[in-house]
A = this chain, B = another copy of it.
Amino acid sequence: MTSSEDVRRAVGINDVAARAGVSPGTVSNVLNRPERVAEATRLRVEQVIDELDYVRNSSGRSLRSGRTDSIGLLVLDVTNPFFTKVSEGVEDEAAGAGYPVVLLNSAENPQRQRRSLRLLAEQRAAGAVIMPVDNDLSDLLWLRERGIPWVLLDRGDVSADLGCSVCVDNHEGGLAAGRHLVSLGHERITFLSGTLSLEQCRTRLNGLRTALDEAGIDPDDAVRLVETGKLNAANGEQAVEEVLGGGPKRRPQAVFCANDQLALGLLKGLGERGLHAPGDISVVGYDDVDFAALVHPGLTTVGQPKYELGRAAMRLLLSELNDPGHRHERMLFAPELVVRGSTAPYRT
């Protein structure tokens, strides 16, 4: 039976070998170490590969070699432009070295992170670039025990004994934002955070507190914390209630948001209540996502070299994969305050 529904049996390395009059091993060599095979044979085999439209079966390949060449990229939120920008960097760098990247989305959900890591283990991925959902690194160590190396992204607090990491100095970023607000005369500042199980949030908050401390202001008095869940615009918008809570007297003079998504959502929520930045309240974001420049007023924010972050992470991973003398490394980038229209001096 050869109905049109039938998929004709896939052509394998053996079919190619037979047709080209060589052994399967030679075909494999043409594919993997062309320099080991004579010019003439190589050309002949390559032609047959084309004729038969042979496509390598990566299951067989990696079963034998114990390895895949695909790289996992595990992000916290695929809808967040920060992560997609980072992933562009990772992809470009990986593509340059011939590694395919598969993007996995944990959606800030530990369960899903776990499933994704397991998938990488089952598939014997070559390595991974990971932005972890929380402090619990045990699953990551588990992965490494299984021979799958990773580079951590956006986690500054992890020892280089465990693995490489690439990070932007979050304390410095929080500090820059804090200093900016202090210099504008703000003394009642709310930190609008995602879940504090994210190290980024905690450290940015600490930076803010340090800035106040520097200025002789007691952070415990000056800083109020509003903790939402995920770092998205919906949560920012929803948090406006709690941010403004406590009556006009206790209304913050400024809000520093853990990322731009929250900040943009917050701006919208404020607008719906007839409040506007910077007149009624100053707002600072974090990440300098493309959209931060598109809203009106432009969002003052702490910029991160997103694309470069991704490239650097991938470069470290490639080093670990290919360089025998590799040593784990912590790379720290500097954030950069981008002042736009959403912040202004405090008017009493």
How many protomers of this protein does the assembly include?
2
User: For the complex, is A38 an interface residue (Cβ under 8 Å from B)?
Assistant: no
Give the CA-CA distance A268 to B267 in the complex, in Å.
18
A79 touches which one: B63, B81, B264 (CB < 8 A)? B81
Q: Are A84 and B88 in contact (CB under 8 A)?
A: no
Count class of interface residues, chain A: 35 or more
User: For the complex, is A228 an interface residue (Cβ under 8 Å from B)?
Assistant: no
User: For the complex, is A121 an interface residue (Cβ under 8 Å from B)?
Assistant: yes
Q: Mark A1-30, 1 if CB is under 8 A from B, else 0.
A: 000000100100000000000000000000
User: For the complex, is A146 an interface residue (Cβ under 8 Å from B)?
Assistant: yes
Q: Are A58 and B123 in contact (CB under 8 A)?
A: yes
User: For the complex, is A129 an interface residue (Cβ under 8 Å from B)?
Assistant: no
Q: What chain B residues lie within 8 Å of A62 (beta carbons)?
A: 59
Q: What chain B residues lie within 8 Å of A124 (beta carbons)?
A: 57-59
Interface residues of A (CB under 8 A from B): 7, 10, 55-63, 68, 70, 78-79, 81, 84-85, 87-88, 91, 95, 100, 102-105, 112, 115-116, 118-119, 121-124, 145-147, 233, 264-265, 267-268, 271, 290-291, 293-296
A-B contact pairs, 6 of them (CB 8 A): A57-B124, A59-B124, A78-B78, A81-B81, A87-B105, A100-B115
